[in-house]
Structure 1
Amino acid sequence: MVHKLSSVKLDNYKPLRDVVFGALREAIITGELKPGERLMEVQLAEEMGVSRTPVREAIRKLELEGLVVMIPRKGAYVAGLSLKDAADVFEIRESLEGLAAALAAERITDEELEAMEKILMEISGAAEKDDVETIIKKDAEFHQILFAATRNDRLAQIINNLKEQIDRFRVQSFTNRGRIKSILQEHRRIVDALKGRDADMAEKLAKDHIEKVENNIMNILRKQMDFEEEPS
């Protein structure tokens, strides 16, 4: 491992194992820990300033989430994502996020709609500055508001778990300025449907949005696989 993880910040309200789990999970999702990278307990513990026990517990929990794979006699590795894996995830996400948008159209508050409008303005401003980090953060906030507006916590949790399996590839996705412009347009149409309380249109637009996200991510995965297969 060539990276250097930061020491974890202790939280008086969370057990240490949960803090370590959250830090490792974030490192995987953001790409700091890359697919195929080996997770060595001793080194991770030293970098994070903790003992091996919470690191071991966190790795096991990450395995259950599908973000880590255990290889017999070799150890733990950051899970990769095959084209089949991605296609399976998006197939489910398209249906669930369509449902979420339909429910949100019926239940969203004016305050939530205003918050979504503000986020779209912030994404537009960040795009002008090529501030990818802010764009990713605000895009996540946009979707969180949408999920919260369903008033269905179970649905939101399931969608979030699926999203995180794909989010590791969002950085590459958002470096495409043309795609950022398209995302803003897609989000704008969804907000307009929510404002109009048009559940059918909101569902259709959300599904169309996820299909476009899928096409973009799948292209990224194919290019990565082609690169890895090229002879050195």
Structure 2
Amino acid sequence: MTITTQLPLGAESMAERAYQVLRDRLIMMDIAPGDPINEAQLVAELGIGRTPLREALKRLEVDHLVQSYPRRGTFASRVDITELADITEVRQALEPLAAAKAAVLQGGSARAGIQTTLAAVQQLSGENLRRTLMENDLEVHRLIYQAAGNHHLEQTLIRLDNLATRIWCMALDRLPSIDEHIDEHVALLQAILDGHAQRAQELALEHIVHFEKSVRSVL
């Protein structure tokens, strides 16, 4: 007989909420690399039980954002700069594919979100808005992955982009300007909305290559 362990009613949505909150805190370095994850504090802060929190932590460990050690606890993963080349290699193959598919669908289910985000990005300036830029960067990429209409492609790219963003956090304050990064987002999103698949594919590749070069130049 197979025994199935079920979460209490509502626990799955609570686990998802805990996952999203912790994921973005880890990506944005609000929880610094190497810091312990205080389960008791998070349970109280998020108003959830330990079961959904631990479900969230299991997912974050699969994402390489936390590491668990027997009898020691769970900690935010260290940022490994040496992984940048491997992450970029896969993103160069998959990001252009996602952008092209998104353009064929002209944004698909994410079209309204892309339009809203494009308008927000166009108002950005690199001066004193680096945190906002990073938050918009995550939103831009997640929308493109959603717009591609392939769940497996979306989940793979989200995980890679999360890791790349953590590395970017290490370099962001040392970059002389990020206005070019903003311009790249505007052009890419517009190409997707206009249905220009080839251009979206080319712009996505250029964006990933430029990202790695920019980070490497200051690390």
- Equivalent residue, structure 1, for 2:158: 160
Instruction: Give the aligned partner of residue 140 of structure 1.
Output: 138
The answer to whether the 8 Å contact 2:108/2:147 transfers is no
Q: How does 1:96-175 map to 2 (within 5 A)?
A: 96-108=94-106, 116=114, 119-127=117-125, 130-171=128-169
* Residue matched to 1:201: 199
Residue 17 (structure 1) aligned with residue 18 (structure 2): no
Question: Residues 151 and 56 from structure 1, CA distance in 2 versus in 1: closer, same or farther, beyond 3 angstroms?
Answer: closer
For residues 110 and 125 of structure 1, the distance between their equivalents in structure 2, rounded to whole angstroms, comes to 24
CA distance in 1, matches of 2:192, 2:88: 22
Cα distance in 2 for partners of 1:111, 1:16 equals 25
Query: What do you get for the CA RMSD once the two structures are aligned?
Result: 3.4
Give the one of 52, 59, 68 matched to 1:61.
59
Specify the SS of the correspondent of 2:124. helix
Cα deviation, 1:7-31, whole Å, max 9, x if unaligned, reads xxxxx68543333333222221221
Give the aligned partner of residue 225 of structure 1: none
- Corresponding residue for residue 75 of structure 2: 77
Deviations 1:47-99 (A, max 9, x none): 54555444333323321221111235533221112233222112111211111
Structure 2 stretches lacking a partner, 5+ long: 1-9
SS in 2 for 1:215: helix
Relative distance call for 1:131 and 1:209 in structure 2 (3 A) is same
Specify whether residues 42 and 126 from structure 1 end up closer, same or farther in structure 2 by C-alpha distance, changes over 3 A only.
Answer: same
Residue type of the alignment partner of 2:37 = L
Equivalent position SS for 1:66: coil
Contact 1:101 1:150 in 2 (8 A): yes
Query: Alignment length, in residue pairs?
Result: 211
Counterpart of 2:6 in structure 1 is none
Q: Distance in 2 between matches of 1:146 and 1:13?
A: 29
Residue number in structure 2 paired with 1:5: none
Letter in 2 for 1:107: L
Q: Measured at CA, do residues 118 and 176 of structure 1 come closer, stay the same or move farther in structure 2, by a change above 3 Å?
A: farther
1:184 aligns with 2:182: yes
Residues 14/209 of structure 1: CA separation in 2 closer, same or farther (3 Å cut) = same
Using a 3 Å threshold, how does the CA distance of structure 1 residues 201 and 15 change in structure 2: closer, same or farther?
closer
- Paired letter, 2:86: D
Structure 1: distance between partners of 2:190 and 2:216: 28
Q: Does the 8 Å CA contact 1:113/1:191 hold for their aligned counterparts?
A: no
CA distance in 1, matches of 2:109, 2:59: 36
Percent pairwise identity: 27
Q: CA deviation at 1:35?
A: 0.8
The 3-state SS of whatever aligns with 1:70 is: strand
User: Which residue is equivalent to 1:93?
Assistant: 91
Taking a change above 3 Å as real, the CA distance of residues 53 and 210 of structure 1, as seen in their structure-2 partners, is same
